[in-house]
Structure 1
Amino acid sequence: MADEESTKQFDHEILREAVYSSEDSDLIHDEIGHITSHRHPAGKPRAAGSRGRIIKICLPSQELRDSLLTHMRSGRQSLTERFVHSYARRDYTVEELQLDRSLRKQAGDLNALKGEYVADTLPTMESKETRRAKMIKLDINEILIKHERSML
C-alpha cells in the first residue's frame, strides 16, 4: 500500500506530465501554483488491489479545465498507461450531484420493492429472499403434486 506522501508525489508527476504534454502555453504557465490536485476522499488511502481514489484537479478557469480535459481524453500519457480503467471527466455540479443521488435512491427503492437488483448490463438478479421464497413455493408445490398423485 502506498503512503499518502508518495501518492501525492505521483499525482503531481501525472498532472505535470499531462500539462506539459498538452503543449498549451496557458496551462503550462499556470501549472506552478495555480493548478492544484488532491485525492478524494482525502487522507483515506485504500489497500493494494482495491479501487483507487479520485484525483480532483482544480484549475483557475473553465477554459483551462476544458483544455486539459480534452488533452487527457485524447490519449494516455506514459505515467497513466497502466491505469486502463481510469478516465478524465469534469466534476458534477451541485445540481447534477443531487440529481444523481436522487435517481440512485429512487432506483434502489424500486429494486427493494420488487426484491430484484440490476447490475449494469447484466440480467436482473433476484435477492436471496426472493430466491428462497420461490424455492419454498416449489417445494410446497412438489409436495402437493405428490400428495394428489398418491390420492389417485
Structure 2
Amino acid sequence: MILRLVFLCTILSSCLASFGQSSLIRCTKYKELHRDDGKWEQWPSSWSHYDSDAIFVVTELENNEYQIQMFVEDKLLAEVLATYDSEASALKRKDWDEKQVYCYKDRDSNYLFMRKVSLEAVVENPKLWKQSGASMYLWLFTEDYAVLLK
C-alpha cells in the first residue's frame, strides 16, 4: 500500500513538472485591424474596451516555447505556440527605437510582440504586465487579423 502511494506521488509530481509555469494577463482595452486582399487597415486612433477583460494565459513550455491562449467572455479566441525570435526582436527594437521589445513567432509565422516586458518575465511575475507602457501586439497572419492590447 505504501509503495503504491509513493509510486502514485512520483507519477503525479512528474506529470505536474511537465507542465510549465503559467500566468494570467488581463487586458481591458484594445485596437484591432484586419487584412483584406493582402492590405492591412490602419490602426484605429481610439481604444475599444471589452465588456469583460480579455484574459491571456501564458504558459512556459520546454525549449523556450510559450503557449498563449486568449479568452474573451470565457471563449477561447486564439491560441499560439511561440518561441522567442531574437532576429525579429532586434529589428523591432531598431524600428521602434525601443530597448524592451520581445518578439515571438509560431510555426505558422504568426507573431506576438511584447513591449516593456517579455513573456518569460510575465510568467515569473505577472504584476510586471501592469507597468506603464506594457502592451502586446498579436499578429495572426493566418487569420488576417491583428490586435494591440493593454
- Give the TM-score normalised by the residue count of structure 1: 0.24
Write 1 or 2 for the structure with the bigger share of strand. 2
Write 1 or 2 for the structure with the bigger share of helix. 1
- Give the TM-score normalised by the residue count of structure 2: 0.24
Question: Which has the greater radius of gyration?
Answer: 1
